[in-house]
């Protein structure tokens, strides 16, 4: 009890807790299989239609997968102790709660990035296999930019799940909330508030990554991040610090 537990050790423990249960391993295995099926299926579909298979094109085809799969990892990482009723075991040993809370955030990001790395390597392998007579520079055009945007998108999606799970604190409810907000809520916001949708949509930061003439303003991005990321994460941290274990 006299030795201070390092944040690195806390994070490693949270990664193990996220990966060590059969349900978590099953979910991660399913996500990996779905990612592989989507990439290969899109490549085969493109070839059958005579469309060139490119790294950037394959990356764009799995945008919805990233938007829905990565938040799930964040939710599992944030609610693992609550779901298994083990918070009362760890809090007394740690002598505090903030360290474990932020270790959960870091662990979820690390696992999500590992899955994203697998997806990016799979994209490169499929693009290379389907290259045929095409020139490599054309197939892998803007590969660095696509990879960077994929990594940032992965982190944004994961933190969205982490933030909502931190505030809701129930795995099933957090999953339903992510799905409803992503697939229904954004559409309603665009329909009801077309001129202000950039401030309230969860897709604003992702749209800023894509850029272009329709890219949202910096104020819209900051407002969206504050509403969907900073605020629920702050609520979750406050509940963790002040609520019952």
State how far the Cα of 115 lies from the Cα of 104, in Å rounded to an integer.
17
Q: What is the pLDDT of residue 14?
A: 86
Averaged pLDDT, 208-215? 80
Q: What is the pLDDT of residue 236?
A: 92
Our CA dihedral for 190, 196, 199, 205, rounded to 10 degrees, sits at 50
Give the three-state DSSP class for 69: helix
Taking a C-beta distance cutoff of 8 angstroms, is the pair 74, 165 a contact? yes
| Burial (Cβ within 10 Å: 0-12, 13-18, ≥19) of residue 236 | buried
**Tokens describing residue 230:** 């900073």
Mark 165-201 as b/e (b = at least 16 C-beta within 10 Å): bbbbbebeebbebbeebbeebbeebeeeeeeebbbbb
Please give the share of the chain, as a percent, with pLDDT higher than 70: 89
**Per residue in 31-46, pLDDT tens?**
888 888 888 888 888 8
Q: What is the pLDDT of residue 107?
A: 93
Give the three-state DSSP class for 49: coil
Contacts of residue 51, defined as CB under 8 A and 6 or more positions apart, other chains included, come to 57
Is residue 160 very low, low, confident or very high in pLDDT (cuts 50, 70, 90)?
Answer: very high
Mean pLDDT across the chain: 84
Q: What is the pLDDT of residue 135?
A: 66
pTM equals 0.86
**Per residue in 109-149, pLDDT tens?**
999 999 899 888 888 888 888 776 666 777 788 788 888 88
Averaged pLDDT, 174-191? 90
Contacts of residue 212, defined as CB under 8 A and 6 or more positions apart, other chains included, come to none
User: Is the pLDDT confidence value at 62 over 90?
Assistant: no
Q: Where are the domains of the chain?
A: 7-242
* CA-to-CA dists, residue 76 to 109, 159, 179, 182, 196, angstroms: 11, 12, 15, 18, 32
**Per residue in 75-118, pLDDT tens?**
988 887 776 666 656 655 565 678 888 989 999 999 999 989 98
């Amino acid at each position: 009890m006299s030795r201070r537990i390092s944040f690195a050790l806390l994070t490693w423990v949270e990664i193990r807790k996220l990966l060590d249960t059969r349900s978590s391993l099953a979910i991660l295995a399913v996500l990996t299989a779905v990612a592989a099926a989507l990439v290969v299926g899109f490549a085969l579909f493109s070839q059958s239609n005579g469309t060139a298979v490119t790294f950037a094109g394959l990356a764009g085809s799995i945008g919805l997968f990233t938007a829905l799969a990565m938040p799930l990892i964040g939710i599992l990482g944030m609610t693992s102790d609550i779901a298994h009723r083990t918070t009362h075991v760890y809090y007394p040993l740690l002598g505090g709660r903030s360290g474990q809370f932020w270790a959960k955030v870091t662990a979820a990001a690390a696992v999500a990035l590992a899955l994203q790395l697998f997806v990016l390597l799979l994209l490169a392998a499929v693009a290379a296999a389907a290259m045929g007579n095409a020139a490599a520079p054309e197939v892998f055009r803007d590969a660095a930019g696509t990879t960077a945007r994929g990594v940032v998108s992965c982190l944004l999606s994961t933190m969205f799940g982490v933030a909502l799970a931190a505030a809701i604190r129930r795995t099933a409810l957090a999953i339903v909330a992510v799905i409803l907000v992503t697939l229904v809520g954004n559409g309603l916001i665009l329909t009801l508030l077309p001129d202000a949708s950039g401030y309230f949509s969860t897709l604003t930061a992702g749209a800023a990554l894509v850029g272009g003439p329709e890219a949202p303003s910096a104020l819209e991005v900051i407002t969206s991040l504050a509403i969907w990321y900073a605020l629920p994460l702050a609520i979750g941290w406050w509940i963790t610090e002040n609520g019952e274990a």
